């Protein structure tokens, strides 16, 4: 299944260097946060506008001018509900959400997760870099804002269509010839 992972630009550089979106990391929203995130998971969405929204929040928190979104391919059988987002958006506690599927989670909270790291070239297929909303002078900043607004409307297709004109970096393994 094609999904998206949004993050700050600096975090994206670490992902590219390590060739992984790590599932075990120091979380931005720790246990002391009002809305903590669970370690051991990579958070994903099928809504590119929502991924940009999350990436923009991370970029602003880190005072970065750019954000990054990775397009990934993950087998449906590996996907789990995002209990943190279900609680944050709908107040559903983990016990009450146990019966929900990743598909329910995407529908209700625009998010799901996977309990492993994702790898460049096999799971991570493309990367998009856009200006964050603090980068006010960048010519593409209005596009970032518009895409974030589309997440509110749930207009996945319009957001995807708008991004077809943008330059994505595609990750392809280069094999040495002998």
Q: How far apart are CA 120 and CA 167, in angstroms?
A: 18
The residue with tokens 């929900």 is: 100
Q: Which residues of the chain have pLDDT under 70?
A: 25-37, 153-154, 174-178
Give residue limits of the domains in the chain.
2-170
Tokens of 32: 């002391």
- 125-160 pLDDT, tens digit per residue, is 999 999 999 999 999 999 999 999 988 766 888 899
- Write down the CATH number for the domain with range 2-170: 3.90.210
The model's pTM is 0.89
Percent of the chain with pLDDT over 90: 69
Tell me which H or E stretch contains 127. Answer: strand 124-131
Determine contact, residues 147/162, Cβ cutoff 8 Å: yes
Q: What is the DSSP string of 27-75?
A: -SS-TTSSS---TT-EEEBS-HHHHHHHHHHHHHHTT-SEEEEEEEE--
């Amino acid at each position: 299944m094609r999904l998206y992972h949004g993050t700050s630009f600096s975090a994206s550089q670490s992902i590219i260097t390590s060739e992984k979106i790590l599932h075990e990391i120091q979380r931005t929203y720790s246990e002391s946060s009002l809305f903590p995130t669970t370690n051991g998971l990579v958070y994903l969405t099928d809504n590119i506008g929502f991924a940009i929204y999350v990436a923009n929040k991370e970029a602003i928190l880190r005072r970065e001018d750019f954000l990054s979104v990775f397009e990934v391919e993950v087998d449906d059988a590996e996907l789990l509900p995002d209990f943190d987002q279900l609680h944050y958006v709908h107040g559903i506690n983990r016990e009450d959400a146990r019966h929900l599927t990743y598909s329910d989670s995407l529908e209700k909270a625009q998010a799901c997760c996977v309990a492993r790291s994702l790898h460049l070239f096999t799971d991570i297929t493309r990367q998009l870099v856009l200006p964050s909303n603090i980068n006010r002078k960048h010519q593409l900043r209005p596009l970032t804002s518009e895409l974030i607004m589309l997440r509110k409307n749930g207009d996945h297709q319009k957001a995807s269509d708008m991004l077809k004109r943008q330059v994505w970096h595609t990750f392809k393994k280069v094999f040495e010839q002998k």
